[in-house]
Amino acid sequence: AQKVTQAQTEISVVEKEDVTLDCVYETRDTTYYLFWYKQPPSGELVFLIRRNSFDEQNEISGRYSWNFQKSTSSFNFTITASQVVDSAVYFCALLGAGSYQLTFGKGTKLSVIP
Amino acid sequence: NAGVTQTPKFQVLKTGQSMTLQCAQDMNHEYMSWYRQDPGMGLRLIHYSVGAGITDQGEVPNGYNVSRSTTEDFPLRLLSAAPSQTSVYFCASYRGDGYTFGSGTRLTVV
């Protein structure tokens, strides 16, 4: 069975602070994909990143960065110099190779205070 | 290219009523699925389909029916709505490079 744990239910930071959202996953698959989605107050799900289990390189996209560590089964997401527009619920998700079923964590609600 | 289109965006039902949530995609994706999102629960898979004529249950299928007569459409039916089905519903389609989600349907059952 697959499982994704986002232990942080809610986080509040002051604008311009850095913040890291944690994601820990469980899977028996050797090949899998990890995702992060953003859900702003408007409700839609916005795709942020997909990471293949064979690619452990960290990735940076503007103020966003992701740290993938297979040794600890973690795929953490860091926002640098947070902005009010970053306020949203963030979901980590897992897809096993050969499967179509995306398993989501319960989400972390991030509030960035001006 | 519209992606995944869900209708309606909002709906209020009375207990016991039936309705169909519509989902259509124009990307020729074989895989489609329905999720429900509840506070503190993340998104949970209701039903999915790997192609026309093929459907299967996900994690929380009770109270919902689906069918897949065409590649494009994957409707979700509530036969007798219950307050426990108050939720936000997302339809998604998938190809090898990732998922595309619809904008969601907010359903309230009173």
- pLDDT tens-digit readout, A8-36: 999 999 999 999 999 999 999 999 999 99
pLDDT number for residue A101: 84
Of B42, B94, B103, the CB nearest to A104: B42
- In angstroms, rounded to a whole number, what is the distance separating the alpha carbons of residues A70 and B22? 39
Question: Which residue in chain B has the smallest CA separation from A35?
Answer: B98
Quick one: pLDDT at residue A109? 96
B4-21: per-residue pLDDT in tens? 999 999 999 999 999 999
pLDDT band for A57, please (50, 70, 90 cuts): confident
Name which of B40, B50, B101 is nearest A100 (Cβ-Cβ): B50
**Nearest Cα to Cα of residue B22 among B63, B68, B57:** B68
CB contact under 8 A, B45 and A43: no
User: Between B40, B58, B104, which is nearest A101 by CB?
Assistant: B58
Q: What is the pLDDT of residue B6?
A: 96
CA dihedral sign, ordered A41, A45, A51, A53 = positive
Dihedral class, residue A62 (left if φ above 0, else alpha if ψ from -120 to 50, else beta): left
pLDDT at A55 over 90: no
Is A44 in Cβ contact with B101 (below 8 Å)? Answer: yes
Section A42-56 average pLDDT? 90
Distance from CA of A111 to the nearest CA of B (A): 16
Contact A9 B98 (CB under 8 A): no
pLDDT band at B106 (very low <50, low <70, confident <90, very high): very high
Please report, rounded to a whole number, the percentage of residues in chain A having pLDDT higher than 90.
82
Given pLDDT bands bounded at 50, 70 and 90, which one contains residue A97?
Answer: confident
Burial B77-90 (b: 16+ CB within 10 A, else e): ebeebeeebbbbbb
Is residue A12 within 8 A of residue A113, CB to CB? The reply is yes
Question: What is the overall mean pLDDT for chain A?
Answer: 94
The CA distance from B13 to B2, in Å, is 28
| pLDDT tens digits for range B29-86 | 999 999 999 988 889 999 999 999 999 999 999 999 999 999 999 999 999 999 999 9
Q: Is the pLDDT of residue A51 over 80?
A: yes
Chain B CB contacts of A50 below 8 Å:
97-98
Chain A's closest residue to B88, CA to CA, is A43
pLDDT value at residue B1:
59
Using the Cβ of A101 and the Cβ atoms of chain B, whether some distance falls under 8 Å is answered with: yes
Q: What pLDDT score was predicted for residue A1?
A: 80
A6 contacts A21 by C-beta, under 8 angstroms: yes
Among chain B residues, the shortest Cα distance to A5 is held by B42
Check if B46 contacts A (Cβ < 8 Å): no
Q: Examine the pLDDT at A86 and tell me if it is beyond 80.
A: yes
